[in-house]
Amino acid sequence: MQKENNNYPNDSLSSKPSSSERNSNSEPSLTLPTMLDKFILGECVSTMARLPAQSVDTIFADPPYFLQIEKELKRPNETAVEGVTNAWDRFDSIHDYDNFSEKWLLQAKRLLKDNGTIWVMGSYHNIYRLGRLLQDLGFWILNDIVWVKNNPMPNFHGRRFTNAHEVLLWCAKGKNSKYRFNYRALKKLNGDKQMRSDWRLPICSGKERLRSKDGKSLHPTQKPISLLYRVIVASTKVGDVLLDPFGGTGTSVAMCKMLGRKYIAIEREPEYVKAAQERLEQIAENSSEADAETLFLPEPREQARDIPFAALLENGLLAPGEKLESKCRKFQASITADGDLAHLQSRASIHKLAAQLAGRQSCNGWTYWHYQAQKNVQKKSADKKSADKTLTKPRASSNAIVGEKTRRVPLDELRQALRATLKLAENNRQASKDIAPNKAKARI
């Protein structure tokens, strides 16, 4: 990922900057719809300042490490090592680096939604300073992930241990954030065992490494796709917006495109932006876009907090014995009294049966299964020209119905309606509780 240079003022950032300070060049603000799936050429802090507050679900940041390399690195045979000697990794002092880091982290805090998370990675040169800043700014550290490199660069001089790992800090925006963690998906990636905080993955090399015309690495800190795949699968869902303030050659956005996520990437080096755009075009040409069902990651804990399918039966929106039809119209299933679906000799939940019939590891049953909903056209008084149309379940016809049309509706529509009803009832109960003590005080 791209690193930044030190072309920033040395003023302290002890408090949140004003809107004028966040956009000192008086550049117009950027709207979210116009920025989605865009790779922006520009400096990260000033560009972030133009984006709307609480507009992104996840941030992945691979900022400058400030390696402080002063001399050319050479192997024992005197050949040069392709290290990080670029201008964007140079700062005049640790103080300047801290000031820059605080600036972009303040913008990250502003842009992140309340339940969003941020990933910040680095090496021993900078990760401890970034960790302090993250905590000072109110982020809540969830994990520190150690990326153990299978094939690290050796220590050629033999004066230190081989530096074989980097650290990713995964943080929620605040202590009480209801962040997303796709536990089951990560468990499947780890051979059906809990995913640990040490990730053993190779560095970016071979055909994956982007190179310039002279054969040298185009970007010295290009990250492997396997690393970003885990990051995005772990903490996002389909349609989420990921911001990468240091876009580099586009590894994060390439994974977003493959996994059905939206992205906003910022990069200051034109050659990196060009390489990233070519990379995205190649992905679009060589791969077909996966549908939402394929990318859906059902989490048992998430489903437990949501409306279970059986609740539709309990509330009379569906009835045992009713037929549901698959999205492709190929399969039908009967609803059982305990909230399962039965198809031929198979009986399972709406998600498991959908996955079985679709030939997938997982499938979103709420969007896979459809029922026949009825549009009832009600009689109107003579002074009204158009008829009201209400969506209902198929029931016995009424004398008030003058015309009937049915349409296939996904189960999710019923779930949304029940969720709204239950939420309204809960709000009413809570309001009643709040009123009762006041009445008791009035009697006293």
Question: Rounded to whole angstroms, how far apart are CA atoms 312 and 319?
Answer: 8
The alpha carbon of residue 391 and the mean position of all alpha carbons in its chain are separated, in whole angstroms, by 33
> Hey, which residues does 342 pair with through a beta bridge?
334, 347
Q: Which amino acid is at 385?
A: K
What tokens does 178 get? Answer: 């209801």
Task: Identify the pLDDT of residue 383.
Answer: 41
Per-residue pLDDT of the chain (444 residues; tens, 9 = 90+): 444 444 333 333 333 444 433 454 557 788 899 999 999 999 999 999 999 999 999 999 999 887 655 555 554 555 554 555 556 556 678 888 889 999 999 999 999 999 999 999 998 889 999 999 999 999 999 999 999 998 787 776 677 888 889 999 999 999 999 999 999 889 888 888 999 999 998 888 788 888 877 777 776 778 888 999 999 999 999 999 999 999 999 999 999 998 899 999 999 889 989 998 998 888 887 766 666 556 767 665 555 456 788 888 888 888 899 999 999 999 999 999 888 999 999 999 999 999 999 998 889 999 999 988 865 444 434 443 433 333 344 443 333 333 446 678 899 998 888 888 888 877 787 777 666 555 555 555
Task: Identify the pLDDT of residue 381.
Answer: 40
Type and span of the H or E element at 442: helix 411-443
Task: Identify the pLDDT of residue 71.
Answer: 52
Task: Identify the pLDDT of residue 86.
Answer: 58
Task: Identify the pLDDT of residue 17.
Answer: 40
For the question of whether the overall pTM of this predicted structure is more than 0.75, the answer is no
| 37, 56 contact by CB (below 8 A) | no
Q: What is the CATH T-level fold of the domain 19-288, as seen in this structure?
A: Rossmann fold (3.40.50)
DSSP 287-349: SPPPPHHHH----HHHHHHS--THHHHHTTSS-TT-EEEETTSS-EEEEPTTS-EEETTEEE-
Spell out the residues 6+ positions from residue 42 whose beta carbon is closer than 8 angstroms to its own: 266, 267, 268
Question: Rounded to whole angstroms, how far apart are CA atoms 347 and 334?
Answer: 9
Of 21, 52, 54, 22, nearest in space to 35 by CA: 52
Question: Rounded to whole angstroms, how far apart are CA atoms 216 and 78?
Answer: 17
| 375, 391 contact by CB (below 8 A) | yes
Task: Identify the pLDDT of residue 358.
Answer: 92
| 264, 244 contact by CB (below 8 A) | yes
Strand pairing report for 112-122 and 56-61: parallel
Task: Identify the pLDDT of residue 308.
Answer: 84
Residue range(s) in the chain whose domain bears CATH number 3.40.50.150: 19-288
| 315, 329 contact by CB (below 8 A) | no
Spell out the residues 6+ positions from residue 60 whose beta carbon is closer than 8 angstroms to its own: 1, 118, 119, 228, 231, 232, 242, 243, 244, 252
Strand pairing report for 38-41 and 262-267: parallel
Helix (H, G, I), strand (E, B) or coil at 40: strand
Task: Identify the pLDDT of residue 75.
Answer: 47
